[in-house]
Amino acid sequence: MPHFHLARSQYYYQRVGERGPTLVLLHGLGSSSEDWQQQIDAFSHDYQLIIPDLPLHGKSEGDPTQFSLKGCADVVAALLDELAISSTHIVGISMGGMVGLELAIHHPKKVSGLVMINSIAESRPRMLNEHIMVWLRRLLLKYADISTVARLMGKKLLPGEALLEVREKAQQRWQQTPAAHYQIMFEKVVSWQVLDQLHHVKCPVHLIASENDYTSYGAKKVLAAVLRGGTSVCLPGAGHLVTMEKPALFNNALSEYLSDLYAGIQN
């Protein structure tokens, strides 16, 4: 079980694949590296995959009082140093995409490219419905146990009988996060923004959106337009956790993008 140590904490990661370019896969809030299993199966033959558990997630430790998305990015940068990886492509979903953006801003030499999945540059609520959603989540976290939170999230993010097995496994993983840690991380996420720092991003950024995500494709297209060399695509009929809900659809979209990208570099 590979770990590396930093500032009195140890952090877990998976390393899979022995050839091809390196990809770092970053999970979302309350999740872990295990959420990427469908992508590990699909990409480990052609890419070397680094899949960490971010601080306070999965098998990783960390200081709850110091948690931040930039701090997560600093841990990933330290992991890359530990593995002697000078530069790599980052693929992050939801909060993982935000951490990837922090990496591109604060550790630009380490990020050759960034793929953000259902992720944007600001998660602070602005519209009334967004404030209501945040308020309801705070209420749930205050009065419900973490297993109830995980079950309700599973029903919302991975709905339907066809996803029952995927949903149950995900819920089992999500409920391992201590409720107090989840509350801290949630508050950091909903107060986060880097809109005033986007000019520091120098690498290509590709946004993969889902048609039924709770943040609009329009917002992601605007972000792609702001970023130099930014591109975007929308996956039909998919929700927020498209990597688990519709893995074949997502894997095909990511594979096409990476194939075109690396073909362009080679040419």
Region 193-206: mean pLDDT is 96
Rounded Cα–Cα distance for residues 44 and 49 (Å)? 6
* Strand 111-117 with 48-52, pairing: unpaired
CATH class of domain segment(s) 3-123+194-266: alpha beta
Region 100-116: mean pLDDT is 97
Amino acid 143: pLDDT: 85
pLDDT of 252 strictly over 60: yes
Q: Residues with Cβ < 8 Å from 80, sequence gap 6 or more?
A: 24, 50, 86, 88, 110
Strand partners, 205: 114
- Residue count of the chain: 267
- pLDDT tens for 118-148 read 999 999 887 788 888 888 889 988 888 999 9
Region 221-233: mean pLDDT is 92
Are 36 and 117 contacting, i.e. CB atoms less than 8 angstroms apart?
no
The structure tokens listed for 142 are 């205050």
Region 245-266: mean pLDDT is 86
Rg of the chain over CA atoms, in angstroms? Answer: 17
Lowest-pLDDT range of 41-50, 51-60, 120-129: 120-129
Amino acid 265: pLDDT: 57
pTM of the predicted model as reported, rounded to 2 decimal places: 0.95
Amino acid 140: pLDDT: 87
- The band of 172, judged by pLDDT with boundaries at 50, 70 and 90, is very high
Domain boundaries, the chain: 3-123+194-266
Amino acid 131: pLDDT: 85
Lowest-pLDDT range of 7-11, 29-33, 134-138, 247-251: 134-138
pLDDT of 267 strictly over 50: no
**More confident position, 267 or 43:** 43
Query: Which helix or strand (DSSP H or E) is residue 91 part of?
Result: strand 88-93
Q: What single letter denotes the amino acid at residue 150?
A: A
Amino acid 24: pLDDT: 98
